[in-house]
Amino acid sequence: MWFLIPGAVIYLVLFIFPTIASLFFSLTRWTLFDAQFIGLDNYTQFFSERFLVQGLYNTVFYAFFTSGTKVVLGMLLALWLTGRVFGQGYLRAVIFFPVLVSTIGVGITFKVLMDPFDGLINGSLTVFGVEGPLWLADPDTALLSIALVDLWKGVGIATVIYIAGLSAIPQEYNEAATVDGASGFRRFKEITFPLLMPATSTVIILSLIGGLRSFDLIWAMTKGGPGFASDVMASMIFKQYQAGFYGLSTAGNVVLFVLVAVIIYPLSRYLNKKTVEL
């Protein structure tokens, strides 16, 4: 049993204990040295500040948008890339590589590429006669722009998970269906899609957890701006921490924790039930 000790000590002291302590400190006005119990005031304040509620909404939007697009695009790319396409190896590699690159580096690069006036993206759009959006500078498109970069960076992992899922499906199923005269679409709907459920469930859960917690990319690109237009829970937790509102910051942490639990737990149970065994 003492084999558990080195890992367990670090894990319990630096992860589990702070998590439990956060429940208490979120109910206090806290200076790190002194905590004064104020009941649910932090939470009341949290839900009465308009920009904080906006951040909560942004977090959910960001997570579901990135997760949904990664599922659809990841699945399509995987179907395409397992069909013995010309240049398959190169295509897989180039789509996957951004997963490994520093999020901060990607954020800074796209901030420059998305420059409304001098940026390469709008420059290219002008060539096609399209007037590009203002991207990060416009409160209405800032969060969406970051979500698109997140998709760019993360679709590779969804794709490789789907490729692994596809290669686990026995060839015979599709061959038998073809012999029975099933069309390509029908085969996808009745065989491939249901048997890909474990992969789908993995991609959804992983990208939702990542999306709900995401911080690095948003912080590198807008710091939550313009105004609070692209603020999410993680960036607000950091801002409240920087401002010295430790209790409020911790309450934000608890809200995020509850949000993740409320979304992920029922969803993963539901998806597990949907999963059919091969």
Partner 1 sequence: MRAQRILKVVSGVVGIVVTFGLFVVPFIFIALTAVKSRAEAGLLEFSLPREGYFFMENLTQVIEAREFMLVRAFWNSTVLTAASVALMVIAGAMIAFVLQRRKSRWTGLINALVLAGLIIPPAVVPTIWVMQGLGLFKTLHGLIFIEVAFGIAFCILLFRAFIATIPRELDEAAVIDGAGPIRLFFQVIFPLLRSVIFTVVILQSIFVFNDFQNPLYFLPGDQNATVQLTLFNFQSQFLTAFNLLFMNILIITIPMLVLFLFFNKRIVEGMTAGAVKG
- Which of the residues 216 through 235 are near partner 1 (CB under 8 A)? 216, 219-220, 234
Run of H or E residues at 59: helix 50-81
Q: Which position among 76, 108, 130, 262 is part of the footprint of partner 1 (CB under 8 A)?
A: 108
Kindly state whether residue 150 participates in binding partner 1, applying the rule CB under 8 A. Answer: no
Residue 272: CB minimum distance to partner 1, A: 13
What is the 8-class DSSP label of residue 82? T
Kindly state whether residue 84 participates in binding partner 1, applying the rule CB under 8 A. Answer: yes
Kindly state whether residue 19 participates in binding partner 1, applying the rule CB under 8 A. Answer: yes
Beta-bridged to residue 37, according to DSSP, are 28
For every residue of 86-120, DSSP letters joined together read: TTHHHHHHHHHGGGGS-HHHHHHHHHHHT-TTT-H
Nearer to partner 1, 50 or 127 (CB): 127
How far is Cα 196 from Cα 92, in angstroms, rounded to an integer?
19
* Region near partner 1 per CB under 8 A, out of 47-55, 95-103, 127-135, 169-177: 95-103
Beta-bridged to residue 35, according to DSSP, are 30
Run of H or E residues at 190: none
Nearer to partner 1, 80 or 193 (CB): 80
Three-state DSSP class for residue 29: strand
Backbone φ, ψ for residue 180 (5° rounding): -75, 0
Q: Which position among 147, 196, 199, 204 is part of the footprint of partner 1 (CB under 8 A)?
A: 199
Nearer to partner 1, 72 or 112 (CB): 112
Kindly state whether residue 8 participates in binding partner 1, applying the rule CB under 8 A. Answer: yes
Q: Which position among 53, 93, 176, 262 is part of the footprint of partner 1 (CB under 8 A)?
A: 93
Kindly state whether residue 72 participates in binding partner 1, applying the rule CB under 8 A. Answer: no
Nearer to partner 1, 87 or 129 (CB): 87
Kindly state whether residue 14 participates in binding partner 1, applying the rule CB under 8 A. Answer: yes
Kindly state whether residue 104 participates in binding partner 1, applying the rule CB under 8 A. Answer: yes
Q: Which position among 43, 51, 173, 215 is part of the footprint of partner 1 (CB under 8 A)?
A: 215
Q: Which position among 40, 72, 85, 262 is part of the footprint of partner 1 (CB under 8 A)?
A: 85
Find the radius of gyration of the CA atoms of the chain: 22
Closest CA to 216 of 202, 235, 200: 235
Give the alpha-carbon dihedral of 262, 268, 274, 278, to 10 degrees.
Answer: 180
